[in-house]
């Protein structure tokens, strides 16, 4: 072909086989890319990028105390993301986990708030169970709207998350407000037996981390080894084929949303029965939304999600560090989260495509 003045442009060409290598290196590449972009932003904001990098990405791992806080935050992120990933693989986009998390926290809090004098080892386990059911119940509204009314689950689950936040406000400003709490929007402190036992002495890490790990294991078995999980995945990848095979779409949607709501509700319950010890307005710092990023970054795979949950938890702790030591606004964490997901979505494009440089013209080289 004769060299011409036509510009040389990159074109994405479909690979014959999806690249497993790219799939494995995509998350670290995305992390590197997002880190570079955000450090650039901090320089523009007049912050010392080295100090922010140290505070945000290294410090969480440098001391046992801060790493234990990372583990504490990993619990809820891991739980919610495992639940969401199951739905995402079935192409059921539950993005209202934040609301299911809040409902889990509310349901769990009902026990210590209504029975403040109760004692016994049964209290915290039943809080976790009731919280999980509360989350599943909230998600079942979305499932009903989607299956019976054909409504888009993205919009319904998100709207219900906004409603849940208002419901929490209502309870904390009204019936569940601590009468001796100087009018702060928070409930009474829960009794000792309403607390999930500490797992690692000397830290705040509690048994709910084990619950999250067990749930991850169950998610792996369900998705990789069970027929029900297989049916969900086929429904997501090839809905028509799933229909011909007689896999029920409505059942897949119900299952996806109930599992997602159950996990998010469990996480919410573990939060009030764990580090907080009361129902507060700030029970969730966007866990439900961050877990969406965790799920994608982990490749929607139960094993990958364990790593991405740890990373996201470290980012939360690192963001707090950077706020104190480098005067970085807390919103910087959200910016980092958003750009991390974008970078990842670019990186995984190369799982299915490769870049080829071509002359820009209609079919000149193809």
Q: Which residues bind another protein (CB under 8 A)?
A: 12, 14, 45, 93, 95, 145, 148-152, 154-156, 158-160, 162-163, 166-167, 169-170, 173-174, 289, 292-293, 296, 329, 331-339, 341-342, 345-346, 348-349, 353
Spell 200-229 as b/e; 16+ CB within 10 A means b.
eeeeebbbbbebbbebbeebbebbeeeeeb
Shortest Å distance, C-beta 20 to another protein: 19
Helix axes 97-114, 287-297, angle to 10 degrees: 130
Nearer to another protein, 67 or 254 (CB): 254
Nearer to another protein, 250 or 329 (CB): 329
Shortest Å distance, C-beta 169 to another protein: 5
Distance separating alpha carbons of residues 127 and 150, to the nearest angstrom:
33
Spell 40-67 as b/e; 16+ CB within 10 A means b.
ebbeeeebebeebbbbbbebbeeeeebb
Distance separating alpha carbons of residues 33 and 27, to the nearest angstrom:
10
Nearer to another protein, 2 or 149 (CB): 149
Nearer to another protein, 221 or 345 (CB): 345
Q: Give 250's Cβ-side CA count (13 Å radius).
A: 7
Shortest Å distance, C-beta 181 to another protein: 18
Shortest Å distance, C-beta 175 to another protein: 10
Question: Residue 14 pairs with which residues in a beta bridge?
Answer: 353
**Contact between residue 272 and residue 190 where contact means Cβ atoms under 8 Å apart:** yes
Nearer to another protein, 158 or 309 (CB): 158
Q: Tell me phi and psi for residue 358, to 5 degrees.
A: -135, 160
Spell 331-342 as b/e; 16+ CB within 10 A means b.
ebbeebbebbbe
Nearer to another protein, 263 or 292 (CB): 292
Distance separating alpha carbons of residues 305 and 259, to the nearest angstrom:
16
Nearer to another protein, 5 or 150 (CB): 150
Shortest Å distance, C-beta 155 to another protein: 5
Q: Which candidate, 336, 270, 339, 303, places its Cα nearest to that of 124?
A: 270
Q: 121: which residues sit within 8 A by CB, 6+ positions away?
A: 193
Nearer to another protein, 236 or 302 (CB): 236
Shortest Å distance, C-beta 121 to another protein: 35
C-alpha angle 28/68/87, rounded to 5°? Answer: 55
Shortest Å distance, C-beta 60 to another protein: 20
Nearer to another protein, 60 or 319 (CB): 319
Shortest Å distance, C-beta 14 to another protein: 7
The token duo for 56 is: 């945000």
Q: 309: which residues sit within 8 A by CB, 6+ positions away?
A: 74, 77, 78, 81, 294, 298
Nearer to another protein, 259 or 348 (CB): 348
Shortest Å distance, C-beta 166 to another protein: 4
Shortest Å distance, C-beta 71 to another protein: 24
Q: Tell me phi and psi for residue 220, to 5 degrees.
A: -65, -50
């Amino acid at each position: 072909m004769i060299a011409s003045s036509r510009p040389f442009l990159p074109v994405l060409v479909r690979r014959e086989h999806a690249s497993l290598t790219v799939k494995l290196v995509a998350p670290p590449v995305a992390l590197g890319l997002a880190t570079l972009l955000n450090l650039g932003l901090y320089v523009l904001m007049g912050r010392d990028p080295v100090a922010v990098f140290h505070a945000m990405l290294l410090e969480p791992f440098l001391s046992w105390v801060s790493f234990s806080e990372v583990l504490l935050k990993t619990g809820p992120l891991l739980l919610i993301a495992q639940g969401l990933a199951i739905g995402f693989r079935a192409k059921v986009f539950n993005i209202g986990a934040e609301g299911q998390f809040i409902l889990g926290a509310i349901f769990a809090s009902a026990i210590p708030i209504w029975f403040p004098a109760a004692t016994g080892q049964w209290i915290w386990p039943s809080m976790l169970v009731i919280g999980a059911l509360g989350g599943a119940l909230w998600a079942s509204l979305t499932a009903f709207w989607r299956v019976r009314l054909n409504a888009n689950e993205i919009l319904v689950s998100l709207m219900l998350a906004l409603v849940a936040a208002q419901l929490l406000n209502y309870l904390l400003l009204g019936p569940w407000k601590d009468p001796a709490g100087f009018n702060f929007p928070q409930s009474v402190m829960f009794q000792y037996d309403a607390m999930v036992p500490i797992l690692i002495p000397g830290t705040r890490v509690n048994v709910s981390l084990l619950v999250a790990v067990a749930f991850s294991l169950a998610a792996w078995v369900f998705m990789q080894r069970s027929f029900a999980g297989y049916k969900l995945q086929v429904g997501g990848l090839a809905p028509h084929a799933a229909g011909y095979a007689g896999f029920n779409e409505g059942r897949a949607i119900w299952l996806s949303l109930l599992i997602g709501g159950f996990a998010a509700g469990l996480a919410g319950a573990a939060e009030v029965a764990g580090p907080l010890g009361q129902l507060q307005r700030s029970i969730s710092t966007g866990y439900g939304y961050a877990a969406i990023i965790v799920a994608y970054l982990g490749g929607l795979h139960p094993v990958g999600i364990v790593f991405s949950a740890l990373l996201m938890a470290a980012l939360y702790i690192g963001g707090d560090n950077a706020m104190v030591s480098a005067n970085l606004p807390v919103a910087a964490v959200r910016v980092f989260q958003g750009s991390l997901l974008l970078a990842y979505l670019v990186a995984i494009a190369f799982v299915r495509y490769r870049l080829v440089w071509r002359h820009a013209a209609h079919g000149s080289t193809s």
